[in-house]
Amino acid sequence: MKKVAVVGVGETKFSGPQEKTEVELFAEAAMEAITESNLKPKDIKALFIGNVLGDFAEGQGMVQSFAAENIGCLYVPANRYEGACASASMAIRDAFIWVASGYYDIVLAGGVERAATMGTGLATRTFAMFSDARYEYPAGITFPAVFAMLTHLYADTYKIPLQKLREQMARVSIQSYKHGSANPRAQFFGKNADMTVEKVLGSFMVSTPLTLHDCCPFSDGAATVVLASEEVAKKLTGKPVYITGTGQSSCGPLGNQSDYLPRIRAREISSQRAYEEAGLKPQDIDLCELHDCFSIASLIATESLGFFDYGTAGEAWEKGEADIGGKIAVNPSGGLKAKGHPIGATGAGQVYEVVKQLRGEVEPERQVEGARLGMTDTLGGDGGTLVNMIFERGW
Amino acid sequence: MEQKLIFKDYNEALKQNKLLGLKCRDCGAITVPPKMVCRQCASPDMEVVELKGSGKIRTFTTVFVASEGREDEIPYTIVMVELDDGPWIMGNLEGIDPKEASMELVGKKVKMGNKVFPGDKYSAGEGARPLFSLV
Ligand SMILES: [Zn+2]
């Protein structure tokens, strides 16, 4: 196995409905990453692209081939990854494995999505496709409903009064809005920095007990990274960020996870694999961009990732232990809640943030001082796909 | 190797309020919804059995934002029920006001009927789901 570095990253602004096509959004992010890497499109040996719903959003299938050709990556392999909201992380992890194996030395990976363009009705319908079509969708399952049920189960399992849990969850959204408001690439840049517990609890009910402010938005956007072998990376940049550990795991319908719920077993297995490969423990990690599709998802994620004990993550948010300057800086980008969630690109957006943080290149008010080790956590479906990656500053 | 119980047969039975599952001949565990192998030990050596469909509510939610095509159904309550036979299964809850659904539902015993989702342009046809009511 060769050491693999991120040598460049690029990202569009994450936003509501876009006028740009998926191919155009991808190009914007890809050219930024390629230029930052001191490379040209012809240097890219293969492209691995997450895209989930382009077929529904634009009537565009096989977007990866058009996206590659559009930026002048001609006649090279281009693969599309679909793992619901974890698609781009799957793409990056596979790109990592190919570069580590020595088969390719320079690969572009990332993703693109126009979930906001679809509108709430179609987006809600298509997102429900990541639950079981035969055994869950007939009951009217939606994505918020999955995490709403996990919320009630969490309250019951850890014997936390629902009202108290909802207030703790509101703290998660408030923290995310605070950081997102300072991130120019975030969907809620300059917005909602004055969010309060009362406003979160009092906003529109989506699926009990989750309100609008417990839920991430539908988003359009693209993000990409260029990965290179250590040998190549050293020639391209003085600031390589190494991928030192990864893990991926899958599982079936929500009900079949009943031995573990509200814990997500796939996440525990995936992250343990990543920690082992990196030779690290949860307490070594300086910051984590994790999958906060809903406020409760942050609590569940930090516990499965080993940052906090089961049933205590809500208290951690109340005490600021999950914020910059706390035990672990969670989602300094604003996370899916405030930065946005263009599902096929989300994992690449997380890597973009971690790399920028490790380089010390983000806005001062949300920079994690001296960050050396960062982690990403991306979840697809109701726990059906999980990807974790660990990144280390290479200088 | 064919799966012993496929969706089509499971669905037809559910429409008659019969919940079919699979009993493992190796470890005794019950698997439902149907799978190729036992959910506990991955053995394919299972037989089709009829389950009682009774159990208790483990969690729930009332949905206020619907998928395209299902707007007329909101608000509705989804429940995850732990069957007396072991597995958890997803269905809807009737006989209550969905807007009043609260944590008091957790642990309540339920019995099973069914309701058919007629399908939409993506679903490859209809699908029944358990429709639970409090006992
Ligand atoms: Zn068995």
pLDDT 10s digits, B98-128: 999 999 999 999 999 999 999 999 999 999 9
Mean pLDDT, to the nearest integer, of A85-102? 98
pLDDT digits (tens, 9 = 90+) for A228-249: 999 999 999 999 999 999 999 9
> Is residue A85 annotated as part of the catalytic site, yes or no?
yes
The residue among A248, A222, A241, A242 whose CA lies nearest residue A47 is A222
Alpha carbon of B3 to ligand 1 centroid (Å): 15
Shortest Cα distance, chain B CAs vs residue A334, angstroms: 24
pLDDT digits (tens, 9 = 90+) for A8-59: 999 999 999 999 999 999 999 999 999 999 999 999 999 999 999 999 999 9
Q: How confident is the model at residue B17 (pLDDT cuts 50, 70, 90)?
A: very high
Asked if the Cβ–Cβ distance from A207 to B76 is below 8 Å, we say no
- Residue A107 pairs with which residues in a beta bridge? A46, A227
Give the per-residue pLDDT at A88.
98
The residue among A8, A83, A1 whose CA lies nearest residue A40 is A8
Question: What is the rounded CA–CA span in Å between residue A249 and residue A271?
Answer: 9
Alpha carbon of B42 to ligand 1 centroid (Å): 6
Give the per-residue pLDDT at A312.
98
Active-site residue, from A85, A251, A288, A293: A85
Residues of A at the B interface, defined by Cβ within 8 angstroms: 120-122, 124-125, 128-129, 132-142, 144-145, 148-153, 155-156, 162, 204-210, 252-256, 258
pTM of the model: 0.98
- Residues near ion ligand 1 (CB < 5 Å) are B 24, 26-27, 29, 38, 40-41, 43
- The per-residue pLDDT of chain B, averaged, comes to 97
Question: What is the rounded CA–CA span in Å between residue A286 and residue A336?
Answer: 19
B39 CB within 8 Å of a chain A CB: yes
B117 CB within 8 Å of a chain A CB: yes
> Is residue A341 annotated as part of the catalytic site, yes or no?
yes
- The per-residue pLDDT of chain A, averaged, comes to 98
Q: How confident is the model at residue A141 (pLDDT cuts 50, 70, 90)?
A: very high
Give the per-residue pLDDT at A154.
98
pLDDT digits (tens, 9 = 90+) for A325-359: 999 999 999 999 999 999 999 999 999 999 999 99
| Spacing of C-alpha A66 from chain mean position | 24
- Rounded to two decimals, the ipTM of the complex is 0.98
